[in-house]
Structure formats: C-alpha cells, structure tokens
A = this chain, B = another copy of it.
Amino acid sequence: MESKKRRGILERLDAGEVVVGDGGYVLQLERRGYVKAGHWTPEAAVEHPEALRQLHREFLRAGADIMQTFTFYCSEDKLDLSGNVTNITGAQINDAACNLAREVADEGGALVAGGVSQTPCYVKNRNETEVKAIFKKQMDNFLKQDIDFLIVEYFEYVEEAVWAVEVLKTSGKTVAATLCIAPQGDRHKVPPGECAVRLVKAGADIVGINCQLDPTICLKTVKLMKEGLEKAGLKAHLMIQPLGFHTPECNIGGYVSLPEYPFALETRAMTRWDIHKYAREAYNAGIRYIGGCCGFEPYHIRAIAEELSAERGFLPPASEKHGLWGAALEMHTKPWVRARARREYWENLLPASGRPKCPSMATPAADGLGEN
C-alpha cells in the first residue's frame, strides 16, 4: 500500500542526501506520563493517541525525515512478559501506531519505518526457527499497513540481527539494521567490522549503531563498521542513532548498566551544542542517516537539522522558533545574556552540574559478560 509519490529512503541516500532520523519515544513518553518504566510497553498508542501524535509532530517539525512506529515491545509474548495488564492487544497497538506515524509523516513528506528488535527467545535457546517466526509475524503486521521501509534495531548479537534481516528482506522492502554494541564488539565478541559485513551479506541496505552509548562512542563503532565493509569490498549506507546521554565510561553493558538508569539520567543529558558537534562528526565520517535514540528530544533533532542545514538546503519548521547558535538571545533583557548570542560562547562552554557532591563518572554495574 506504499504511496508511489514518496521518494524512498534509498532513493534519498543514493542521491547523497542527509536523512535525519527521529528521536527517542519511550523515555520521553515516560516523562510525559504515558509509558511505564520497567514495563516499557507501547499501549499509549491506543490509550492516548493525542500524546503520541504530538511527539511525532514535534520530531517532524524539528526536521525528522523518518517517523518510526511506536511499536517497541509490541509482540504478544513481550507484552505479557512485560506485565501488560490492559486488554489492549499487540495487533491493536501496531495498527494504531502505524496509523499515527503515517498521519504525521504525511504532514511533512516524511517516511514511515517499522522496526523489529531483539527477542528474549534468542537469548533463551538460540533457536533460529523460533526466532525467525517471531520476526515473520511482526513483518506481516507491518505489511498490512502503509510502511515505507523496515528497521532491524537494538540487537546485542549480530547473529540474531542477521536472522532478522534475512526474514525482513523477503518483504521486498528496504531494510536498515543497527546494533546496540560498543566498539569492543557484540556480546559474542564479534568485532564491529565483521558485524557490518555479516549484516550486509544478509541483505541489509543500511547498517549502523543505535542506542546504549553516547554519540562519541557510537561514532567510533560505526567507523569500525565502515572499515570492515571497506576491507571486505562491500558497500552499504551508514546509519547512527545514539543515546542522548553522555556515557564516557564506555562499558559494553551500555547505559542500562549505569547506576543512573533509568531515573537519574538528567545530569548526563546532552545539550543542543553537543548535538551540533555530533551531527558534524557523523557527517564527516560519511554517515548519511543521522538520528537519535533514547534521550533525544525534539530540540536535539532540530540541532542535527540546523547543523546540517547547508548540506540539506533548508531549515526545519521548528527553526522558526530558534535563533541559530543562540542568535535570538540578542532580544534578551539582560546584557550578559545578550552577550551569549554567538556560536563561540556555546561551542566552548563547559556546563556545570550544580552538584558538588556528585562524581563525574560512575562505576557501571557488572553485566555478566565482563568489561573491556
């Protein structure tokens, strides 16, 4: 049912365009009062569509070219496992989420991406047939809706991600695949370069990293993937959707292992200026699908779009409400705030935490797989 008029994701990337991804839904909707931390299930798509529509719209206004469906943890077994006590079914959520994403995407020429994530099933028994059946069922649900392409995301094991890609490629849709691993490699210690090679060989059109670690670290991992592909003589588009939180500890367990997860991450939140730096570095590394994951709010996405406005040729709608590099502060009533209406000020500022009794870095929890 895909609209014929839209320019597809590959068409855009092949033309060398920058594609701006959207931000994180789950954590932001938790703060807004619609998602329960711990359960993390997406029943809000049915219960409070206006809340989800509004967040989609904010990402769109901020410059996102993609609306990911809010279908995280949406298979029936996961909903059960996560303590879902409503009578809302996974199918209902899926339909509602796809419709909302489509509705908002069409307000601004964006594309809709349906996503599948790693399964508890894989870790339990590593049974290829069972795991692939789960992905097949999710894909079938998506194909009943007006989805533009598919994303395989948040996989700690490349083997399982490869299985997902193999299933999803049978749809004929473009498939992007992002792992949530550290530069040290996946949980079976497969290095990022080799992970990328396996994903592309399985059929992924776009590969990269999402979630778990901060932009600096995720960029390092994507660069290793790129090197791996180049050595293997393979080609694929690169994609990055990192955390919006600073994680200098760079532990393989990611931010879930940090003591602050999930209710005291405020201090680690990135500023819009951190994002400018990230967007530029991602672009310079040859990555063209640039978005965010948990911790990316609408203004972070806008910062990507503003940093790359010359390359894209336009500013996003929400930039009507933002002076580039703080320019609108020139209207402030206090002279010392007006003096901050310039790039140099924000680019060089080291923000204070306001917490003299807190450390700068934490000791991550052991995650059962060792730290490198």
A261 at the binding interface (Cβ < 8 Å): yes
CB distance A354 to B245 under 8 Å? yes
A190 at the binding interface (Cβ < 8 Å): no
A331 at the binding interface (Cβ < 8 Å): yes
CB distance B353 to A357 under 8 Å? no
Question: Copy number in this complex?
Answer: 4
A88 at the binding interface (Cβ < 8 Å): no
Taken together as a complex, chains A and B put the C-alpha atoms of A337 and B34 apart, in Å, by 21
What mask results when residues 310 to 340 of chain A are scored 1 for a CB within 8 Å of chain B, else 0? 0000000110111100111111111011001
A134 at the binding interface (Cβ < 8 Å): no
Stretch of A1-9, A90-98, A145-153, A360-368 contacting B (4+ beta carbons < 8 Å): A360-368
Q: Which of B33, B62, B317, B362 contacts A318 (CB 8 A)?
A: B33
Residues of chain B within 8 A (CB-CB) of A258 are 352
A308 at the binding interface (Cβ < 8 Å): no
CB distance B353 to A353 under 8 Å? yes
Taken together as a complex, chains A and B put the C-alpha atoms of A263 and B347 apart, in Å, by 11
- Select the residue from A30, A264, A330 with max chain B CB neighbours within 10 A: A264
A299 at the binding interface (Cβ < 8 Å): yes
A127 at the binding interface (Cβ < 8 Å): no
Q: Which of B51, B257, B332, B350 contacts A38 (CB 8 A)?
A: B332
Residues of chain B within 8 A (CB-CB) of A309 are none
The A288-322 residues at the B interface (CB cut-off 8 A) are 297-299, 302, 317-318, 320-322
